[in-house]
């Protein structure tokens, strides 16, 4: 399983093959991108940048709201294969999460637009977060709201965030 942390994103440590593409875009298609930057300029969340000639996302400041502007604004017929504009990854809580270390925090849940983060009641300490796999869209909205960089992305099998070494 490949994990992409916010800290790694901030430090530019994501290798090219692990870059997160705009939703619905496959890597082979991204490689025919004309680098016109239309999607970069039209993303209302300002999370797209050109990285080594392909558009890639950075969730360190904001998440994707699946508005489709990146798709709609492309003038070069770069085909977004997935009409549902889904991501091939999901959020995963790491062991240094505050709540998992007896410090009360539910910030991620409060900022998840899909209600994909549940907090399970627990006796004797803060409730623990649990990501509901089927509900997480991979939008990344929770990442920038975690005070301890404890949310990473795990790549789902068959993803276009290619996990080849």
51 lies in the binding site for ligand SF4 (CB under 6 A): no
Least separation in angstroms between CB 108 and ligand SF4: 3
| Residue 86 touching ligand SF4 (CB under 6 A) | no
88 binds ligand SF4 (CB under 6 A): no
Q: Which is nearer to ligand SF4, 2 or 165 (CB)?
A: 2
Is 153 exposed, middle or buried (CB count within 10 Å of its CB: 0-12, 13-18, 19+)? buried
Write down the least CB distance from residue 110 to ligand SF4, Å: 8
Residue with tokens 């789902």: 156
Q: CB under 6 A: which stretch of 8-16, 30-38, 74-82, 110-118 binds ligand SF4?
A: 110-118
Q: Is 4 in the site for ligand SF4 (CB under 6 A)?
A: no
At 93, list the tokens: 């809580």
- Which range touches ligand SF4 (CB under 6 A), out of 5-13, 30-38, 138-146, 156-164? 138-146
Q: Which is nearer to ligand SF4, 14 or 117 (CB)?
A: 117
DSSP the chain: --EEEHHHHHTT---GGGPBPPTT--HHHHTT-----HHHHH-TT--EEEETTEEEE--SS-------HHHHH-TT------TT---SEEEEE-TT-TGGGT----HHHHT-TT--EEEE--TTSPPEEEE-TTT-----TTGGG-TT--EEEEEPTT-SS----
Q: At 10, phi and psi to the nearest 5?
A: -65, -35
| CB 119 to ligand SF4: min, Å | 8
- Closer to ligand SF4 by CB, 4 or 131: give it: 131
Binding residues for ligand SF4, rule: CB under 6 A, are 22-23, 43-45, 47-48, 57, 63-70, 85, 91, 93, 97-99, 105-108, 112, 114, 116-117, 129, 131, 136-142, 146-148, 150-151
């Amino acid at each position: 399983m490949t994990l992409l942390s916010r800290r790694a994103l901030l430090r530019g440590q994501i290798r090219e093959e692990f870059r997160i593409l705009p939703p619905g875009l496959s890597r082979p298609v991204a490689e025919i991108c004309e680098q016109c930057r239309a999607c970069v300029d039209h993303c209302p969340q300002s999370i797209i940048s050109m990285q080594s000639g392909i558009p890639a996302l950075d969730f360190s400041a904001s998440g994707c709201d699946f508005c489709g502007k990146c798709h709609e604004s492309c003038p070069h017929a770069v085909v977004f294969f997935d009409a549902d504009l889904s991501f091939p990854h999901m959020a995963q809580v790491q062991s240094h999460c505050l709540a998992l270390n007896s410090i009360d925090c539910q910030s991620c849940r409060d900022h998840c637009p899909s209600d994909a983060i549940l907090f399970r009641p627990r006796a004797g300490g803060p409730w623990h977060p649990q990501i509901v796999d089927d509900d997480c869209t991979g939008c990344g909205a929770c990442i920038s709201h975690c005070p301890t960089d404890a949310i990473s992305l795990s790549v789902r099998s068959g993803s276009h965030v290619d996990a080849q070494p």
